[in-house]
Amino acid sequence: MARPKGSILVVDDEPAMRLLLSSVLKDEGHDVTAAANGEEALQLIAKRHYHLVLTDLKMPGISGLDLLEQVKRDDPGTAVIILTAFGTVEGAVEAMRMGAVHYLLKPLSNPEELRLSVRRVLEEQRVTDEATTLRQATEAVFPFGEIVAGEGKMQAALELGRSVAPTDATVLITGETGTGKELVARAIHHWSPRAGHSFVAVNCAALAESLLESELFGHEKGSFTGAVSQRRGRFELAHGGTLFLDEVGEMTHALQSKLLRVLQEGTFERVGGTKTVTVDVRVITATNRDLQRLVAERVFREDLYYRLSVFPILLPPLRERPADILPLAARILQQANRRFGKRIVGFADEVPALLQDYAWPGNIRELQNVVERAVILCREERIPTALLHFPVSTPALSSGAPKTTLRELKREAILAALAAHKGNRRKAADQLGIGLRTLYARLREYGISADSDNEE
């Protein structure tokens, strides 16, 4: 994983120290700005956000403590490291109480001490920011209090989530990809007594075994090549809150054993370490695989399976909740309007039937992609059929024969686009969101005459 880079404001009234700090951090690839005193620093902070402020404690005029107090009041997301001489350690302790994340003693014994401190602060900030950003993005699309779920399987799943939320029971959420497993996990956390603490998510399928172990449990300095400092893992970062392990069925046996111990005892050791770490974490897991089959095949530990599935919740695929498709599409459209600065009021008359007839193999995620793409391309008040692009052709949902096939709808969309632009194929292709060469291929495929050479 690449080391996080950040925007850093260095504040020190000693020119030589200011130059040294700036040079060391610039060599690390950070965006560094320097200020000679607290007054200049406040002027710079008023103009932009900094990830980190590195400030001397004792300065004439506005002191480091004064600067810390104002930064924490005006921009709480900015981390502050205090620089202090040996004789003023008491002031550093006061700074930590006021919200500083760390302090360093002057003169610096080694520039590496500065590098490691800044890396650690920015890494922890990155993890926190990712969790916050993902939570806000999820809530923006489907606020927890307004999850679309009509009377049926999804509503039953949410009721199970509400029932288990006040407890610390381990929850296993199963369902196809794109059904909203992480959203439900976040909702359970949101409804639980742990809501005031962190929700930390890890995709177990996205990392190699060695990286996943370090990501979950942290590592000690020197435990492997590149481990230049101690690093806390996701279990420690989720202390007091909830850890969500997505695609837990992809874990190796070695990691399954370590996870089982954490669930049973609440303890573990960092990679390369001997010190036992104790955590208080509620674990929610999710998978789109059949764990019972993996247990029978000896791929997944049976004892871990029973530990994870204390409270199972199965999420239905979108094709089994057709009554929710249009409300979901309307919600996605509303949010996409805000995201992309559009004012689209709805869908053309023929669109609802098309959305409900499609089988949505990618579930809600695919519906979101289809609607957002159409919003971006749409230049009308309502989204026409021509702008709905389905990546996978699937059978219709209805038991009887659909009123028209997807192939016929696509053919009609091309004809409509050509008619709207008086045969201009380039403009029709732009409206359809495809290239001119693709349009020619579709014309041949659907048996549409291409006698005219009107491309311009």
Question: pLDDT digits over 260-301, tens only?
Answer: 999 999 999 998 888 899 999 999 999 999 999 999 999 999
pLDDT of amino acid 89: 64
Strand partners, 199: 242
Q: For residue range 311-340, what is the model confidence (pLDDT) as tens digits?
A: 999 999 999 998 899 999 998 998 899 888
- In terms of Cα–Cα distance, which of 287, 367, 373, 374 is closest to 319? 367
Count Cα atoms within 13 angstroms, Cβ side, for 347: 25
- At a CB cut-off of 8 Å and minimum separation 6, what does 146 contact? 331
pLDDT of amino acid 86: 63
pLDDT of amino acid 142: 45
pLDDT of amino acid 241: 93
Domains of the chain: 7-125 (3.40.50.2300), 150-316 (3.40.50.300), 324-445 (1.10.8.60)
pLDDT of amino acid 151: 61
Q: Are 49 and 77 in contact (CB under 8 A)?
A: yes
- In terms of Cα–Cα distance, which of 60, 110, 62, 58 is closest to 82? 58
Q: Which residues of the chain have pLDDT under 70?
A: 1-4, 86-90, 92, 127-147, 150-151, 225-229, 391-410, 433, 435, 449-456
- In terms of Cα–Cα distance, which of 4, 49, 1, 45 is closest to 25? 4
Could you give the 3-state DSSP secondary structure of residue 79? Answer: strand
Strand partners, 231: 219
pLDDT of amino acid 418: 82
Compute the distance between CA of residue 364 and CA of residue 368 in angstroms, rounded to an integer.
Answer: 6
Backbone phi and psi for residue 143, each to the nearest 5 degrees, phi listed first: -55, 145
pLDDT of amino acid 219: 85
Burial (CB count <10 Å: 0-12, 13-18, 19+), residue 265: exposed
What DSSP line would sit under 42-64, residue for residue? HHHHTTS--SEEEEES--SSS-H
pLDDT of amino acid 403: 42
pLDDT of amino acid 127: 67
Compute the distance between CA of residue 282 and CA of residue 394 in angstroms, rounded to an integer.
Answer: 39
pLDDT of amino acid 35: 95
pLDDT of amino acid 144: 47
Burial (CB count <10 Å: 0-12, 13-18, 19+), residue 207: middle
Amino acid at site 186: R
Structure tokens at 325: 């498709």
pLDDT of amino acid 67: 93
Q: Are 202 and 216 in contact (CB under 8 A)?
A: yes
Could you give the 3-state DSSP secondary structure of residue 85? Answer: strand
Locus of tokens 């969101």 = 433
pTM for this model (two decimals): 0.58
